[in-house]
Chains A and B, each alone.
Chain A
Amino acid sequence: MINFRSIKAIYIFEMSRTFRTLIQSLISPILSTVLYFIVFGTAIGNNINFTNEIPYGAFIVPGLVILTISMQSVNNASFGIFFPKFLGTTYEILSAPISYVEIVIGYVGASATKSFCLGLLILITSTFFVDLNIKFPILMLCMLLLSCVSFSLLGFIIGIVSDNFEQINFVPMIIITPLVFLGGSFYTIDVLPDFWQTITLFNPIFYLVSGFRYSFFGTGEVNILISIFSISLFILLCIIIIWRIFKTGYKIKT
C-alpha cells in the first residue's frame, strides 16, 4: 500500500521551497535563456545556415530547453536531498513510515515538476523570439517529462553521495554542462570533423537533444526510437543505483 500522504508531504514541502526562492528557481534560468536567444538566435544566428530549412533561432530551442532543465533538475533534486543531510533533518525521513520508493517519488517528483514547468516557460519565452511550430506536441511533452525525471534521478544520486557543496556543484558544472554543449544543442554533428562526430556518439545527451528536436521539427540526427531507448536506459540505470544506495544505506544510514 503506497503511503500517498507521506509522498504528498515531501512533494509539497519541496515545491514550497521553489516559491521561497522564486528568483533563483524560475527567473534566473529564464533570463539566461533569453540572453542565449538574443546572442545566438538573433545576433549570430542570422549568419548560420547549416540547419537546412529550420531557422537557427528555432533550431536551438530544444537544445536550450535541455540545457536549462538538465541543470535545474540536477540542482533541484541534489539540493532537495542534500539539504536535509546538511541540516541533519534526514532523521525524520528515515524514521517515518515511508518506503524508499516513496521517498524517491516525493523528492524526484517535486524536482521534475519544477523543471517541467520551467521547460514550458522557456518554450513560451522562446515564442517571443522565434516562430515555433511543434510537429509532435504530445511526444515533445513526453520527452520533456522523461528528461526532467532522468536528470532529477541523477541529481538525487548526486545529492546523496555528496559530502559538501563543492561536490554538489562538481557534476553539473564539470560533466553535464560540457556534455550538453557538445551534444549538438547548438549545431548538427555533421559540421564536426569525423573524429569528433564519433566521440559525440558516446555522449548520451546527444540522443536526448536529437529526440527532443525530432518532436519539434520531425527530423533528428538519430532515429527517435534510439533516443527513447537511450533515455529509458539512463532512467533505469539511475533507478538501479538509487535502489542499491537505499539497500546498503550508503551515505544515508550509519
Chain B
Amino acid sequence: MQTIIEIKNLKKIYKDNKVALDDVNLNIFKGEIIALLGPNGAGKTTLISNICGISSITSGDIKVNGFDVIDNYREARKCIGIVPQELSFEPFEKVINTVNFSRQLFGKKPDEEYIENLLKKLSLWDKKDQIIRSLSGGMKRRVLIAKALSHEPDVLFLDEPTAGVDVELRRDMWNTIKNLQNSGVTIILTTHYIEEAELMANRIAVINNGKILLIDKKDNLIDRMSKKTLIIHTNSKINKIDKALEKFQLRVSKDKKNLEYDYSPNKKKTGITTLLNEIKKTGIELIDVQTKQSNLEQIFVEILKND
C-alpha cells in the first residue's frame, strides 16, 4: 500500500511543558479511512494541527505525499484539507463565496463546475446564496467539508465531525464520508465515538496521553483484543457453583439460570470442552448455549485501562 502520510518520532511539548505528543510514529495509507480514537485531551487534535501547520512541531518529521511539512510546506499543504472540530465561519459570508475563497486561498484557479458538483454532492447547492449564519448546524458542518474539499485535496482531516450532532445527521455524515473515500480521498478521522470508528474506519489507532498505544486494521484489532463469553442456559436455578467448576471462574446470571464463561477465541485451548464435560458430571441439565463477542468499546476501555 502506498503511504500518503509518514510521521516519525513526532513530539509536541507546549510552553507549560505539557507533553501533547510523545514520540508518535504513524504511516497512513492512500485511500484508507483511519480513525484516531482517544479520550478528550489524548492528543488527537494536536496531531492533526501538527500535520496541517496549525501548531508548531517540537521535534520529529512529517511528510505528506513525500513532501516535508516544514521544508516543503507549500506542496505538503496543497494535498491537505481540514474540517475543524468547531463550526468556525465568517457568519455573514455566502456559502458559495466562502467555498470559492478557500479554493483560491489554496492557490487553485476558480472552477465553477467543480464547486457546483461539490456543493451538489454535499446537498448544499440550493443553499449556495444563503449566508452561513442562517444555516442549521448540520449544514454548517457540510459547508466546512465543502471548504476543505474545495481545492481537491488527497487527504481530508475530519476532527470530530459528528461531535454534538444528532443521530440522523450523524448517519448522514457517515454516508458522506464513505462517499468521499469512494472518490479516492484518504480520510483521517478523530473521534471519541467508538461506534463511529467501528463503522467507518479501515484502521484504528488508539491514542492516549500523546502516545499511539495501538494501531491495526479494525477487524484484526477486534480479533486480537476481543474476548468471547460462553453463556450456558440451564433449566434449574444455580444458587452455588459446584466446587469442580470453580477453576473456570464462572459467573451466575441475575436470574440464576445461566452460567457465563469468558474465553479467548484466539487461544488454542479455550477450555470449553473441559467445562462442558465438568458440567455434565455435576448433573446440571443444559437448555441452550450461546456466545457473545466483545465490541470495540470494551476493547478500547481495556486498552486505556492498561495504559
User: Footprint of B on A, CB under 8 Å?
Assistant: 3, 5-6, 8-10, 13, 16, 20, 83-84, 87-89, 91-99, 249, 253-254
The answer on a CB contact under 8 Å between A94 and B54 is yes
Q: How many angstroms between the C-alpha atoms of A84 and B54 in the bound complex? A: 14
The answer on a CB contact under 8 Å between A253 and B54 is yes
| B80 contacts A by Cβ under 8 Å | yes
User: Footprint of A on B, CB under 8 Å?
Assistant: 14, 46, 49, 52-56, 73-78, 80, 82, 84, 86, 88-92, 97, 101-102, 104-109, 147
The answer on a CB contact under 8 Å between B107 and A3 is yes
The answer on a CB contact under 8 Å between A249 and B104 is no
The answer on a CB contact under 8 Å between B89 and A10 is no
How far apart are B1's CB and chain A's nearest CB, in angstroms?
25
Contacts of B54 in A (CB 8 A): 91, 94-95, 253-254
Contacts of A83 in B (CB 8 A): 90
Q: How many angstroms between the C-alpha atoms of A91 and B55 in the bound complex? A: 9
The answer on a CB contact under 8 Å between A3 and B74 is yes
How far apart are A205's CB and chain B's nearest CB, in angstroms?
33
The answer on a CB contact under 8 Å between B88 and A89 is yes
11 residue pairs of the A-B complex, CB under 8 angstroms, read A3-B74, A6-B105, A9-B101, A9-B104, A9-B105, A16-B97, A94-B53, A94-B54, A96-B105, A97-B76, A253-B55
The answer on a CB contact under 8 Å between A97 and B107 is yes
Q: Given A9-B101, A96-B106, A97-B107, A91–B84 Cβ distance below 8 Å?
A: yes
The answer on a CB contact under 8 Å between B55 and A6 is no
Nearest to B108 among chain A residues (CB) is A5
Contacts of A97 in B (CB 8 A): 73-78, 106-107
Chief secondary structure at chain A's binding surface: helix
Q: Given A91-B84, A95-B77, A97-B78, A253–B56 Cβ distance below 8 Å?
A: yes
The answer on a CB contact under 8 Å between A89 and B105 is no
How far apart are B107's CB and chain A's nearest CB, in angstroms?
5
How far apart are B112's CB and chain A's nearest CB, in angstroms?
16
Q: How many angstroms between the C-alpha atoms of A18 and B236 in the bound complex? A: 82
Q: Given A5-B108, A95-B77, A97-B77, A88–B101 Cβ distance below 8 Å?
A: no
How far apart are A100's CB and chain B's nearest CB, in angstroms?
11
The answer on a CB contact under 8 Å between A87 and B90 is yes
The answer on a CB contact under 8 Å between B105 and A87 is no
Contacts of A94 in B (CB 8 A): 52-54
Pick the most buried of A6, A87, A95: most chain B CB atoms within 10 A of its CB: A95
How far apart are B259's CB and chain A's nearest CB, in angstroms?
54
The answer on a CB contact under 8 Å between B56 and A5 is no
Contacts of B104 in A (CB 8 A): 5-6, 8-9
Nearest to B78 among chain A residues (CB) is A97
Selected from B73, B84, B109, the residue in CB contact (under 8 A) with A5 is B109
